[in-house]
Amino acid sequence: MTAPTDALPRRHAWLAGEFERHRAHLRAVGYRMLGSVTEADDAVQEAWIRLQRADPGGTDDLRGWLTVTVGRICLDLLRTRASRRESYAGTWLPEPIVTGELPTDPEPGPEDRALLADAVGIALLVVLDRLSPAERVAFVLHDVFGIPFERVAALLDRTPAATRQLASRARRRVRAEAPDPEADLAVQRRVVDAFLAAARAGDVGALLEILHPDVEFRGDGGGHGLLARPALRGREHVAPQAGLFGTRFARYARP
């Protein structure tokens, strides 16, 4: 007896439906791993391609399989990024999720709203970005998304004990360096507004009053190494650069 001729199309349709059901979750995994919505979407799309090529079979824990698959893709991207940084003059900054700030912004769809609800702050993403690729994968997959250490260990090609140590080391760094969640956001917003106002006016004197003496100015050149510059430190060096930023770009800036 042969299998029904429509069995494979039905299976493919089921996989496609399940993948779409988990897409928002997978985007959140990719975003926490990579700090970039664009790269997260690319990782999710690659996971769909791999699912089509290598159907895991059965119906149990497809979400877990997809989560680990996205984690593996992100690990490769993080390792490539780490090697590129060795010859990169600028800095790498997380990509914020910004919607609804301007009248021209489109209304976020269901996936965007889910990603926003599950997003971490930019400051915490900066902390995650200081971890090694293996530490970040171990911490995000286990501590954030609950993937068992045994599965994360297989992804990292390490023992479960070594993977626990990676996650523990990452956890200590996150706890030590993550910003205070109870910080006064109203005060922060006033500082940002004052900075943008001074930058837009090109008022270097006002910037000198606002900036911390040891402030650091970093830019990634829009992701193009040739446009990136080393970080500037100290307000006497940063204020003129911020004034230049103000005359060219500050009117486009969003808090």
- Between the CA atoms of 106, 223, 252 and 124, what dihedral angle is there, to the nearest 10 degrees? 80
Q: What is the mean pLDDT of residues 92-98?
A: 68
Q: Give tens-digit pLDDT for 163-202.
A: 999 999 999 998 888 766 666 778 878 888 888 888 888 8
What percent of the chain clears pLDDT 90, i.e. is strictly above it?
36
pLDDT given at position 159: 97
pLDDT given at position 50: 94
Q: Are 219 and 229 in contact (CB under 8 A)?
A: yes
> pLDDT grade, residue 103 (50/70/90)?
very low
Q: Are 244 and 199 in contact (CB under 8 A)?
A: no
Indicate if the pLDDT at residue 213 is higher than 70. yes
Indicate if the pLDDT at residue 223 is higher than 60. no
pLDDT given at position 136: 95
> pLDDT grade, residue 88 (50/70/90)?
low
Q: Which residue would you say has higher pLDDT here, 125 or 75? A: 75
21 bridge partner residues = none
Q: How far is CA 133 from CA 42, 137, 139, 141, in A?
A: 18, 6, 10, 12
> pLDDT grade, residue 162 (50/70/90)?
very high
232 bridge partner residues = 217
d(CA 125, CA 153): 23
Nearest to 224 by CA among 129, 92, 35, 75: 92
Q: Give tens-digit pLDDT for 232-255.
A: 899 888 888 777 776 677 777 777
Indicate if the pLDDT at residue 152 is higher than 70. yes
From the number of C-beta atoms within 10 Å of its C-beta (0-12, 13-18, 19+), residue 206 rates as middle
In a 3-state reduction of DSSP, which class is residue 233? strand
φ/ψ region of 223 (left if φ > 0, alpha if ψ in -120 to 50, else beta) reads left
d(CA 158, CA 156): 5
